[in-house]
């Protein structure tokens, strides 16, 4: 399969706000928990069909450490979906999606420095300052 980081990134950038808008519309009629259940069922069916069509085992052998990380990943995904759903019921999609990525980037940088001992350069600091300034401008324009 052809892979190009930037093409995939652009496709995800297009899909993400559309999916969030659709999710916000769905949450007008369903609770966050119900929406997560329906979405999870759809994901399960689609990916099971994909695995069956590719002649792969649906449940392959996963070692003990892998199971631990799968459990953590599943719990974090569930918590993230729930919190994202709550935000979408309270805020508009544009505000959520425009502020989400810069905040994620800043938090990732903090985690990288504190836990993974990444080095901060002047270019990184300028980038973070621009992100913070962008968030400030977005918030200011909403008022």
Is the pLDDT score of 96 beyond 70? yes
Give pLDDT, residue 143: 67
What's the rounded Cα separation, in Å, for the pair 39 and 93?
18
Distances (CA, A) of 26 to 22, 38, 95, 107, 140: 6, 11, 18, 29, 29
Given a contact cutoff of 8 angstroms between Cβ atoms, the answer to whether 83 and 33 are in contact is no
pTM of the complete model: 0.82
Res 24 pLDDT > 80: yes
pLDDT tens per residue across span 2-22: 899 999 999 999 999 999 999
Q: What is the mean pLDDT of the chain?
A: 92
pLDDT band at 62 (very low <50, low <70, confident <90, very high): confident
pLDDT the model gives residue 98: 86
């Amino acid at each position: 399969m052809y892979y190009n980081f930037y093409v995939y990134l652009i496709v995800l950038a297009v899909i993400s706000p559309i999916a969030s808008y659709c999710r916000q519309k769905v949450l007008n009629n369903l609770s966050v928990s119900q929406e997560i259940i329906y979405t999870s069922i759809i994901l399960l069916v689609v990916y099971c069909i994909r695995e069956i069509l590719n002649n792969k085992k649906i449940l392959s052998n996963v070692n003990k450490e892998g199971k631990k990380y799968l459990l953590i990943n599943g719990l974090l995904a569930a918590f993230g979906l729930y919190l994202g759903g709550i935000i979408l019921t309270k805020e508009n999609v544009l505000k959520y999606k425009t502020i989400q990525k810069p905040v994620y980037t800043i938090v990732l940088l903090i985690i990288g420095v504190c836990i993974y001992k990444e080095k901060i350069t002047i270019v990184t600091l300028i980038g973070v300052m621009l992100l913070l300034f962008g968030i400030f401008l977005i918030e200011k324009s909403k008022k």
